[in-house]
Amino acid sequence: MFNDVFLKVLANKFAFFLAGFSVAVWAVMIPFVKTNFNLDEVQLGLLLLCLGCGSLIAMPFCSRIACALGIKRTIYICTYNLAAMLLVIALIDNLYLTIVSLIVIGASSITLEVSANINGGLLETRYNKHIMSALHAFYSIGSFCGALLCSSLLSIGFNLQVSVIVCVVTLLICLLLLCKELLTHFKNETDNSVKTHIHIAVVFIGTLCFIMFLVEGSMLDWSAVFLHQEKNVDLDNAGYGFVAFNSCMIIGRLTGDSIVKALGRALVLLVGSLIIFIGFVIMYIGDNYILCLIGFAIVGLGASNIVPQLISYAASKPYMPINQTMSLVNSIGYLGILSGPAIIGFISQRISVGNTFILLSIFVVFVGFASFILMRKKHD
């Protein structure tokens, strides 16, 4: 029994790993694509928008696909799509094929993530275990490994084509060896008596995820700008803000499930939001580079378990069938990633990046207290 649970959880972890790994490989490829097609910043931005367009197109259908094909088959197909499209971009010098490939990558990536979240929610319910934070940690670990492997191959002299081929082979080996125990069909595990209309509580939880994805996106897109522009940090060192944030997020997610088991979801989310607020304040008032990095690290630690536990909580409640719940929560939350750079940029133009971070921290405190009130009736 223990071995069966371990293998199923391990397979679910590596489903998240594959999603993070593949997107990170694409991120390393971006400068090469920009140079290869001689794109300016505006043209590159429009090209990157294709990724988001693919995700938006697929969002309404993610849960239906997983339900129709089964979780395991859906994740396998999505990973094959990701591998194929990465190869197309690397090996075929054609802008139109690159555009199509990015749309497919966006659609496959969000479908894979939704399916992996459905799998995790079902495992938590079936085995009464807190595992969602650890699952999401493997997305971050996958991102780190994908970027590290591809960048390392490039730095020791391999060209982009060979580097991407090695990364794709690694991706497929992980899929075929480590994802065998993913769940297949799950129709009978949802309560057929539950009405399929959209439940306001699921929309509310999705909105809380939207705010948190805004925060995570702001760390990815604006941390270096903040350090360079407002703290006078050299560009060569400005990227370490996100490194500090992401490293502590991984640590927090790897330890998060045991903390949630001990303290309960409600308290973990409330304390996490307050930790994020403290981290943003340290960044804002910090008068030296090290203090700012500590602030980024604290934000990563506080944010590490909020989204996974919101998703886990939604999956555990009979508001809607679990596949629809996961699809809706992920779709609303993912809009935070897609719209985040533009929202942060728009506000920052008027009140500065630092003040925008403080504004975000206030919204995060709202997330913490709203989550605490939502979950207060039961020790979740």
> pLDDT of 367-378, one tens digit each?
999 999 988 765
212 shares a domain with 360: yes
Provide the Cα torsion 276, 278, 280, 284; round to 10°.
Answer: 180
Q: Is residue 106 part of a domain?
A: yes
209 shares a domain with 165: no
Average pLDDT over all residues of the chain: 87
57 shares a domain with 107: yes
231: left (phi over 0), alpha (psi -120 to 50) or beta: alpha
**Domain termination residue (choose one: 189, 209, 234):** 189
- Decide: 79 and 18 in contact? Cβ < 8 Å: yes
pLDDT at 236: 67
147 shares a domain with 62: yes
Q: Is residue 380 part of a domain?
A: no
107 shares a domain with 37: yes
Q: Is residue 101 part of a domain?
A: yes
pLDDT at 194: 47
What's the average model confidence in pLDDT over 345-365?
A: 89
pLDDT at 86: 97
| pTM of structure | 0.80
| CA atoms of 227 and 238, how far apart (whole Å) | 6
Share of the chain above pLDDT 90, in %: 46
Q: Is residue 164 part of a domain?
A: yes
| CA atoms of 63 and 329, how far apart (whole Å) | 11
Integer Rg of the chain from CA: 20
319 shares a domain with 227: yes
Q: Is residue 103 part of a domain?
A: yes
Q: Is residue 370 part of a domain?
A: yes
pLDDT at 320: 83
How far is residue 361 from each of residues 41, 189, 275, 276, measured CA to CA in Å?
Answer: 30, 38, 10, 7
Q: Which residue type occupies 363?
A: F
326 shares a domain with 239: yes
H helices within the chain, ranges in order?
2-36, 41-58, 62-69, 71-91, 95-127, 132-155, 160-178, 200-230, 235-238, 240-263, 265-285, 289-303, 306-316, 322-351, 353-375
148 shares a domain with 211: no
| CA atoms of 110 and 71, how far apart (whole Å) | 13
pLDDT at 372: 93
**Domain termination residue (choose one: 141, 160, 189):** 189
pLDDT tens-place string over residues 265-276: 899 999 999 999
283 shares a domain with 140: no
Q: Is residue 346 part of a domain?
A: yes
312 shares a domain with 367: yes
Q: Is residue 227 part of a domain?
A: yes
**208 pLDDT more than 60:** yes
| CA atoms of 225 and 208, how far apart (whole Å) | 26
Share of the chain above pLDDT 70, in %: 94
**Residue 245 lies in domain:** 200-375
163 shares a domain with 25: yes
232 shares a domain with 177: no
**Domain termination residue (choose one: 142, 164, 189):** 189
Report residue 41's pLDDT band, with 50, 70 and 90 as the boundaries: low
Q: Could you tell me the CATH number of the domain that includes residue 179?
A: 1.20.1250.20
User: Looking at the 3D structure of the chain, how many domains does it have?
Assistant: 2
SS3 of residue 193 by DSSP: coil
pLDDT at 360: 92
Contacts of 193 (CB under 8 A, 6+ apart): none
